[in-house]
Amino acid sequence: MLSDYRRIFSPAGSLLFSAAGFVSRLPMSMIGVGIVTMLSQLGGEYWLAGSVSATQAIAAAAIAPQISRLIDRHGQRRVVLPAMAVTVAAICALLLCARYAAPEWTLYVTAAVAGCMPSMAALVRSRWAEVHRESPRLLHTAYSLETVLEEAIYVVGPVLAITLSTSVFAEAGPLAAAILLAVGVLLFAAQRRTEPPVRPGPRGAGGSALRIPGLGLLVLTVTSVGASYGSVEVVTVAYADAHHHKALSGLLLGVYALGSGLAGAVFGAIRPRGAIARRLLVSLWAMAVTMAPLLSAPGLAALAGLLFVAGMSVAPTLITTMGLVGHLAPPAQFTESITWVVSGLSVGVALGYAASGWLVDAAGASAGYWVPCAAAVLAASTVSLALPRLTRADAQ
């Protein structure tokens, strides 16, 4: 089964664009926490640091699909290079504004412009869809690999950003993110051989990819998945703090990510069976069921085991979601469609942060796990109710 992971790299250039994609995606996990760490290190209040970081995240969620629409129409290289240049310039401007104590509004403006960061996760998957268009099994494995790599990115990236900003100088974390983005995108764009061609859209198609039947429901579902995922992070930190071992929260979240990563790796080596919409439904209900025991964790050791089990449903859910996008979206709108899903996930994570933080303050750390449980049930219920529609859309 593991031979499929070797076979996905058999097309020329596939290893190079995947490696470049890994480098160019690291900044996604670094920029938010890097902004917070930088501004707090420079003496800014946490509410300011958090709101500036949130501005960048919200802007990215709104702008990235528009950039990806341009990519579908004009090609990856023609769009991603100027988008990267604008983002890097905006990050550098943000660093200068922070260093020289410019008015607060300049921080918000530069952070918003930094939201022009292209969705490299969508661009990488678009290339995999092109090189393995005739092999659904290998495409499934390629999507699984990228999901596992993103788990690693979101473990390594924040640690790197925080370490640089606290150990070198305050702006080092966001500056490293800008450098990695520039290097990664330049290397990625240089891989011309695997760049998907621009394809004409279907007759009558136009406007947002959200008009594609079933895609809006999928974005709504993955927003709930993101809320579940994000809230687990906040509540786990609060739970560890309530048990007087806040320093262990990073280890606990690492166990959660490990469960997801291992499950994703195994899932990618297994031949998928059955209708993909039904597979997504099974994954979502598995997520809902495995989240429930977190509500009654008796201590940190038990919580670690429960988080590992709960994490095992995350990667298969995201892998199946990305696969379903490939079934729903025409090739001419594939990059934008994937980007809408990624944006929905990001918005969901932000909502999960806010909702779980409020509930922890109001009812305590253990009660905070109601947020990921409720979000997972909402995601599973959405697909349960929409299954006939998703199945019809997949069959078109």
35 and 131 belong to one structural domain = yes
Q: What does the pLDDT look like over 289-341, one tens digit per residue? A: 999 999 998 889 999 999 999 999 999 999 999 989 988 888 888 999 999 99
pLDDT tens per residue across span 156-210: 888 888 888 888 898 998 999 999 999 999 999 999 889 888 877 655 556 788 8
Question: Does 256 share its domain with 331?
Answer: yes
Regarding whether 181 and 45 lie in a shared domain, the answer is: yes
Q: Residue 265 belongs to a domain with what CATH number?
A: 1.20.1250.20
Residue 89 lies in a domain: yes
Model confidence at 395: pLDDT above 80: no
State both tokens at 355.
Answer: 């909702």
Domain-located, residue 213: yes
Does residue 164 share a domain with residue 220? no
In a domain, 203, yes or no: no
For residue 199, give both structure tokens. Answer: 């394809």
Residues 290 and 189 in one domain: no
Q: Which of 284, 367, 289, 276 is nearest to 326 (CA)?
A: 276
Give CA 34 to chain center in angstroms: 17
Domain for residue 201, yes or no?
Answer: no
Q: What is the pTM of this model?
A: 0.86
If asked whether residues 251 and 390 sit together in one domain, one would say yes
Q: How many domains, the chain?
A: 2
Residue 111 lies in a domain: yes
Q: Which domain holds residue 383?
A: 208-396
- 191 and 55 part of one domain: yes
Three-state SS at 330: coil
Residue 134, exposed/middle/buried by CB under 10 A (0-12, 13-18, 19+)? exposed
pLDDT tens digits, one per residue of 227-284: 998 888 888 888 888 888 877 887 888 888 889 989 998 998 888 788 889 999 999 9
In a domain, 143, yes or no: no
Same domain, yes or no, for 27 and 105? yes
Residue 355 inside a domain? The answer is: yes
Residues 160 and 247 in one domain: no
The string over 219-244, giving b where at least 16 C-beta atoms fall within 10 Å of a residue's C-beta and e elsewhere, is: bbbbbbbbbbbbbbbbbbbbbbeeee
- The mean pLDDT of the chain is 88
200 inside domain: no
Q: Are residues 240 and 339 in the same domain?
A: yes
Same structural domain for residues 264 and 301?
A: yes
Residues 164, 29 share a domain: yes
Torsion of CA 118, 106, 223, 28, to 10 degrees: 40
pLDDT digits (tens, 9 = 90+) for 22-43: 999 999 888 887 888 888 888 8
Residue % of the chain over a pLDDT of 70: 97
In order of 203, 273, 355, the CA distances from 345 in angstroms are 30, 25, 15
